[in-house]
Amino acid sequence: MTAKEQALVDARARLEARVAAIVGEGPIARFEEALTHPSFANESTAADNQRLEFLGDAVLGLCVSELLAKTQPEADEGTLTRMRSALVNAEALAQWARTEGIGEALALGKGACSGTEREQTNVLADAVEALVASVYEAHGLQGARKLVEHVVREPMREAPSLGSRDPKSMLQEHVQARGYAAPTYRVKGMRGPPHDPTFEVEVLLGEEVLGVAEGRSKRVAERAAALAALSPTLARSARLEELSAEASVGPEV
């Protein structure tokens, strides 16, 4: 076994132990399949995680809907829908995946291994959805609920703000209230086949990058980038507070 193969085995063992600690002990028959990227499947006889991803998307949506209905009794349907969209978007899922080291546990093809796929937002989000499906098949809906609750635990702390207006409008109001012109959006890159592209978009305040996100359309990517810019952690890293202070003493516009 090569060093890379051993590293993958170790990363999967750590992740499997982590999942077991969340959902309970017991085998997860399709655990490795959930962590197999199509690029690896194309070079081997292994099944990729796309079918699990399809199932996991539905299970994730159900579990998050249940959680919101239980914890947000005053929210109307539109607010709940916006909250759910924010909690299950690719950026939110990928953030949890990075925290748990899922990228290190992914089996990728040789070409993908040499690139940045292991840390790409959509690759990680797809793996999270597939992992949810594998847990659902092994532990039922109760197990899936436990895992999903853990996946969305941190962003759920901001649930009230997630259900408010469109994030692009919110970000625009936020920066204009501090004396700046509206933020702009720029496509940073695009990958994938023409029929199923993935866009990477960044939102800027002047030349300052406030947030970066991916989506399967420019509109989705722009909303995700705005949401990323609005999160307290990314806002600090993007120096929004510093920019606000500068605005208060009369910035050049």
- Chain segment 178-237, per-residue pLDDT in tens: 788 889 999 999 988 777 788 999 999 888 899 899 888 888 889 888 888 887 534 443
Please state the pTM of the whole predicted model.
0.69
Per-residue model confidence (pLDDT) at position 250: 42
Question: Count of CB atoms within 10 A of residue 2's CB?
Answer: 7
Active site residue 129: yes
Reported as a single tens digit per residue, the pLDDT across 24-46 is 999 999 999 999 999 999 888 89
Catalytic residue among 117, 126, 129, 202: 129
- Please state the three-class secondary structure of 168-204 as a single string: HHHHHHHHHCCCCCCCEEEEEEEECCCCCCEEEEEEE
Domains and CATH numbers, the chain: 3-162 (1.10.1520.10), 167-248 (3.30.160.20)
Reported as a single tens digit per residue, the pLDDT across 58-108 is 999 999 999 999 999 988 888 888 889 888 888 889 889 999 999 999 999
Cα 178–Cα 240–Cα 229 angle in degrees, nearest 5 = 110
Is residue 238 very low, low, confident or very high in pLDDT (cuts 50, 70, 90)?
very low
Catalytic residue among 32, 43, 57, 208: 57
